[in-house]
Structure 1
Amino acid sequence: MTSSAKRVVAGLAAGWLLSAGAALADNATPVFGWVEKAELKPWDIKVKAKLDSGALTSSIDARDIETFQKDDEDWVRFRFELEDEDSGDTVTEEVERPLYRTLTVRGAGGRDERPVVLLNLCVGDTVYEEQFSLRDRGEMFYPVLLGRRTIGHLGHLDVSKTFIHDAECGENAEFVEHEPEEDD
């Protein structure tokens, strides 16, 4: 390779590195750690949420899950029993929500059908209306798991970090409404 060809290759490589570095330094897209504090709205319960890129749909710890009919529609009744990360208190709430869809989960333990509802969750300074499958996560360390659908709304995931943001959503917080996807 001639010296002028080497200079061209070096110049192209330097240009590529600069553009890649500029893209990584883009501050417009927020970065979140693999564990963040989140707040369930409207109950204002702060919880630890694990951001899990291996899951598509988010999941939340729910107990006594039962489906029922209300105004000729399928609804779900369930109970939260969550530790508030700020106060340390266990908060119990009975909740009723329209059934959004049913999720089939296949794994080593077999096949599991889970109800999915829409819930509002504050992460960072924004409230997101997201899909949550309901499951007893009492044996899990994190009561809330945020899957790829939710992570895609948040921004970038840095798996080397935790607790980059606190959940700070006041009355004037931005609200991002759930937009159905093709497989919803």
Structure 2
Amino acid sequence: MKQEKLVIGRVDCIDLPEMNVENVLAKVDTGAYTSSIHCSEIHLSERDGRPLLCFHILDERHTDLETREFQTEKFEQKVIKNSFGQSEERYIITTVVRIFDREFETAFSLSNRADMRYPILLGRKFLNKQFVVDTARKNVSYKRKLKAAERSRAKANR
């Protein structure tokens, strides 16, 4: 059975449950193939002789959380064209995105987006076959999430 595509606006708040991050702004970017997430202090280390990727995600500017360090042995490197059309080598990780009360596993390139308005870009690879983009709308999933929480609180107060 074919599932109907969800309508997503040009911006929405998403959760990254594996990183314990909620309600972080993400820009929907149909011009980008790969999704990307703001990271800093990206470096390789070693654990038991195996490569270990270490990085800090987000920062106080983008969330009410403090910057946190993450480590993973599950990563790859790819050459990706940045927004200026220049090729650069980036690390790619895979994690879960929660949006519209559903979870999607997707790949993110790690990039320093400190000077950008949105710490996360959701690219075509994530959007493909799951979403239709309505550029006139914003925070469609987040508004649904707030309404559901409001209904839940009202129900609990009865």
Q: Which TM-score band applies after superposition, normalised by the shorter structure?
A: 0.7 to 0.9
Residue number among 65, 75, 82 corresponding to 2:42 in the alignment: 65
For the Cα contact (< 8 Å) 1:52–1:146, is it kept in 2? yes
Which residues of structure 2 form unaligned runs of 5+?
A: 146-158
Name the structure 2 match of 1:92.
67
Match of residue 51, structure 2, among 65, 74, 93 = 74
Residue from 151, 163, 174 that aligns with 2:127: 151
Q: Quote how far apart the aligned CAs of 1:110 are.
A: 3.7
Larger Rg: 1
Pair 1:135 & 2:132 matched: no
Q: Which residue does the alignment assign to 1:32?
A: 8
Is the 1:46–1:84 Cα contact (8 Å) retained in structure 2? no
Question: TM-score, normalised on structure 1?
Answer: 0.67
Cα separation, 2, equivalents of 1:151 and 1:93: 27
| Bigger relative contact order (CA 8 A; separation at least 6) | 2
Residue 149 of structure 2 is matched in structure 1 by none
| Contact preservation (8 Å) 2:14, 2:24 | yes
Contact in 1 for aligned 2:39/2:57 (Cα 8 Å): yes
Identity %: 27
8 Å Cα contact 1:47/1:83 also seen in 2: no
Q: How many residues align?
A: 141
Who is 2:156 aligned against? none
Residue 158 of structure 1 deviates from its aligned partner by 1.2
Spell out the pairing of 1:154-165 with structure 2 (5 A cutoff): 154-165=130-141
Q: CA RMSD in A?
A: 2.6
The equivalent residue for 1:7 is none
